[in-house]
Structure 1
Amino acid sequence: MTSTARGAAFSDVDETLIRVKSMFRFLEFYLRLRGEPPATYERLTGELRQAALEGAPRDEINRRYYRLLRGESASRLTAAGRRWFAAEWESQEQGLYLPEVEEALLAHRKAGRALILVSGSFFAPLEPIATDIGAEKVLATRPVIRRGDLTGEVLVPMIGRTKGRAVRLTAPVAGLDLAASWAYGDHSSDLSMLRAVGHPVAVGDDPELAAHANTPGWARLTAGLVRR
């Protein structure tokens, strides 16, 4: 690592930076834009929930989600994502962002660290969030697009261990020092990302993640307090 390398702040998005699950809130919004009845959303997400209850891995659930968007226009989804973000911002009485995480990330940015979002979600809901928070890069699930439309397939779901690999691969290309970097996550599936940096921060009350946060050098961000 060269002397010019700087630190970064890597952050999960859903239920870490924002209060909601962006993929599902966006899907509900988008189906409504298309004129679909509420029952359509309930049916589609019910199938995903049932698969999860039957033990389907998180990365498989992620893939199944994107199959729901087969044939949709990427440009139309992008435009809908901006509208979704504006509507979500207005509807959240307590604000869309979790204030403690937002404050921490903005402090990192002010200190000159690269702000990078890492999420299993995709470009439609993530791009307006990244623009608003000032993220330099987004590491996300990438739907396959042909002739402007989503095929329903993805390259690699940005879930679990893939997050850690993405962080490690990004660091040398972007000139980042992972030992001098922070990462924020709310679920045990974020562990590989958190372990990749020198300053991991467990957000919220996930029991498995909280157990790891007792490790020396880890921090917890919950109930308005950072606990070491």
Structure 2
Amino acid sequence: MRRTPTRRAAAFFDVDGTVINVTSMFRFLEYRLAAEGHPPSAYRHERQRLKAMTAAGVPRAETNRAYFASYAGADVREIARLAEDWFRDELRSGAFFNEHVVAAVREHQRDGDLVVLVSGSFRACLAPIARHLDADIVLCSDPDTADGTYTGRVEVPMIGEAKAEAVRTLTTRGALDLAASTAYGDHVSDLPLLRMTGRAVVVGDDPVMREQARRHGWPLWPRTPADTLAAG
């Protein structure tokens, strides 16, 4: 008699503002520009440019694309090396990880669940985070490269519905049980992901997300300890 393969539960984690208490793309950009010898104003200018896009109502996927435009011509290996240095510095500074969420990662691992990071950030930033957490899979924005350098383009930013589509593809290939799975997120762009699983957890204090949590009966977790918020 042919046996039906067992479908595995998974835990899907947004990263920025969920697993970690900061936005990896911007923290790394600041670190990278300083390491390359740019003045602090270079980061402030780039950050304000992207903030202005958001304030003007530009979709988050487009601001994600605009972020990666600044990497045009950057060496892929050098960016990866800088990202490793950045991650070590963040760990030394403390309060980088949301310990509530890290504890959930460890619990899912003990239960044998597949741990998947799903992020609009990119692999250079996420690789040391995934390694530190022993995550199984990273689904993320993958900027285009050519001849070992970034082109400044990204075809599919891992934002909003793209997260849900990536999880659907992974579920089909990996025989996952979404009804038995859990998703964690902090931003409205995570809602397509959170709505896919049998259980969802909202992290942080976004008012729209808090209302969604109330409506659906999802747990609400703090982003970071109160004393850290007060200090920062």
- Return closer, same or farther for 1:56/1:216 CA change in 2, 3 Å cut-off: closer
Q: Distance in 2 between matches of 1:219 and 1:60?
A: 30
Summarize deviations over 1:112-137 as a string: whole Å, max 9, x none: 00100000000111000000001111
Aligned residue pairs, count: 222
Q: TM-score, normalised by structure 1?
A: 0.93
Q: Which amino acid aligns with 1:4?
A: T
Summarize deviations over 1:92-145 as a string: whole Å, max 9, x none: 2xx211111110111001110010000000011100000000111100001001
Q: Distance in 2 between matches of 1:25 and 1:202?
A: 23
Q: Which amino acid aligns with 2:208?
A: E
Q: Which amino acid aligns with 1:154?
A: V
- Return closer, same or farther for 1:223/1:19 CA change in 2, 3 Å cut-off: closer
Q: Offset at 1:12?
A: 0.3
Q: Offset at 1:172?
A: 1.6
Q: Which amino acid aligns with 2:16?
A: D
Q: Offset at 1:3?
A: 4.2
Q: Offset at 1:207?
A: 1.2
Where do 1:42-61 residues align within 5 Å?
42-61=44-63
Residues 1:14 and 2:13 aligned together: no
Q: Which amino acid aligns with 1:20?
A: V
Q: Secondary structure at the match of 1:119?
A: strand
- Return closer, same or farther for 1:79/1:202 CA change in 2, 3 Å cut-off: same
What residue in structure 2 maps to residue 178 of structure 1? 178
Structure 1 contact 199–219 (Cα < 8 Å) conserved:
no
Q: Distance in 2 between matches of 1:136 and 1:155?
A: 24
Structure 2 contact 205–223 (Cα < 8 Å) conserved:
no
**Structure 2 residues without counterparts, runs of 5 or longer:** 225-232
Where do 1:29-108 residues align within 5 Å?
29-92=31-94, 95-108=95-108
Q: TM-score, normalised by structure 2?
A: 0.92
Structure 1 contact 203–220 (Cα < 8 Å) conserved:
yes
Q: Distance in 2 between matches of 1:87 and 1:147?
A: 29
Structure 2 contact 14–119 (Cα < 8 Å) conserved:
yes
Q: Distance in 1 between matches of 2:165 and 2:13?
A: 14
After superposition, the CA RMSD in angstroms is 1.5
What residue in structure 1 maps to residue 202 of structure 2? 202
What residue in structure 2 maps to residue 147 of structure 1? 147
Summarize deviations over 1:166-203 as a string: whole Å, max 9, x none: 11111121221111100000011100000011111111
Q: Which amino acid aligns with 1:182?
A: T
What residue in structure 2 maps to residue 218 of structure 1? 218
**Structure 1 residues without counterparts, runs of 5 or longer:** none
Q: Offset at 1:219?
A: 2.2
Q: Distance in 2 between matches of 1:60 and 1:86?
A: 30
What residue in structure 1 maps to residue 123 of structure 2? 123
Structure 1 contact 199–217 (Cα < 8 Å) conserved:
no
What residue in structure 1 maps to residue 109 of structure 2? 109
Q: Distance in 2 between matches of 1:87 and 1:167?
A: 31
Q: Offset at 1:216?
A: 4.4
